[in-house]
Each structure stands twice: as structure tokens, then as C-alpha cells.
Amino acid sequence: MNLLDCPDQAIIQTIQVNILAHFWTIKAFLPDMIERNSGHIVTVSSAAGVIGLNKLTEYCASKFACVGLDESLRFELGMLQKHGVHMTLACPYYTDTGMFEGAQTRFPSILPVLDTEFVAEKIVQAILCNQEVLYVPRILYFIVALKGILPAKCWSLVLQFTGSGICHHNSFVNSVFLFLSGYLSISVCLFVCLSIYFSYFVNIYLSIYLSIYLSIYLSILLC
């Protein structure tokens, strides 16, 4: 629901469950971990903790906070030279916990709604391997990387294209790929054409630079 329609108590409960519970649990066990220089902290965030979604403001805010908690505490432990205390940040896609009941994906063979036992197994494997960041499914690594690469205006268009937060007919990630496939196709075509054109007037390095810049800019306008 929209932020203004969300009851205050629901916001408080979301923050308490999704982020404050991490703080209180960590503060209870971390002193002994630091003393022994041994232990493992698992922070359960979400794909919505790295990608903001429409009509999920309080949920995304709480999950983004988990990412910040993990990153800051990891740095803090490193400065204390407590390298025996490991941390894992888990960011799964839609999981069949009841919250996303009815959610569907356009390509379930590639991006299914995840089973809770499957996600739990992946987290356990990440703990055993001392993996610092876990995205489930793996395709989320690509999505997060693209968010960091794409211009802010383009990413805003992606978010607008995905519609209203939890989509019960088209998943967020699928919608992103539908948009990006068109965007990247246009960018590649423009890049090739501009590279050929500029190569007649400037050196190869400047030609590539101008082609990349203009292809991204024109692709945004065309999309």
C-alpha cells in the first residue's frame, strides 16, 4: 500500500521485525563472539533491500537498513581485527512465506517464487563457505550490477515500467529484463553506428568514449 495509507503501527511492526530484531540479537551475542574472535552473523535482507519498490516503502526501508547494518558492522569488525567473526548478508527474491501469496513470475523456470526450504539451504551453504553476500536466485547479481551502471533517470524509468510494487501477474525482475532488453538493444545499435561515424574524425579512444556517452543518452530519450 501507499506510505500515507500504511498505519503507523504497521510501520513500527515492520521496522521492529525486519531490522530492530537484528540489532537486539547481535548485541546479545556479539560480545562473546568478539572475545573468542569466532562466530557468524547472518543478516536476512531481501532483493527489496537493494532495489526500492513502489508501495513497499516501509518494507524496503527496513530491508535497506539490514544492508547498511551488515556493511557497517563488517567494517567495524575489520577495524577491530576480529576476522574470525564472519558475516553473511542474504538477499532472496520473492519467497513463499505467505507475504507474497499470489505472486507469479512470467518465466517461472528462470525466476520462480522461491521455496522457504530452498532459501534456507542456500543460506546454510553460504554460512559454511563464509560467503559475504548471497543473492537468490543468482540472476539478482546481474540486476544489482545493472542498477549501479545505469543512469539514474534510466533506472527511474525501469521502476515506473514495473508498475505498483508487488505485481501478481508480472514479477518485478521480469519487467526489468523486458525493459532492459529493449534499452540495451538500442544502446548497442547506437554504439556501433556512432563508433563507425566518429572513427572517421577522431582517434579510436575518443570515438569509443563519445559513442558510449551518446548511445546511453539517446537510448534514455528513445525509451
Domains and CATH numbers, the chain: 1-148 (3.40.50.720), 150-223 (no CATH)
Known active-site residue 217: no
Which of 15-19, 29-33, 157-161, 179-183 has the weakest average pLDDT? 179-183
Torsion of CA 9, 11, 12, 13, to 10 degrees: 80
Mean pLDDT of 162-166: 44
Q: Which residues of 76-111 are buried (b: 16+ CB within 10 A; e: fewer)?
A: ebeeeebeebbbbbbbbbbbbeeebeebebeeeeeb
- The model's pLDDT over 110-129, given as tens digits with 9 standing for 90+, comes to 667 888 999 999 999 999 99
State if pTM tops 0.85: no
- The active-site residue out of 59, 94, 135, 183 is 59
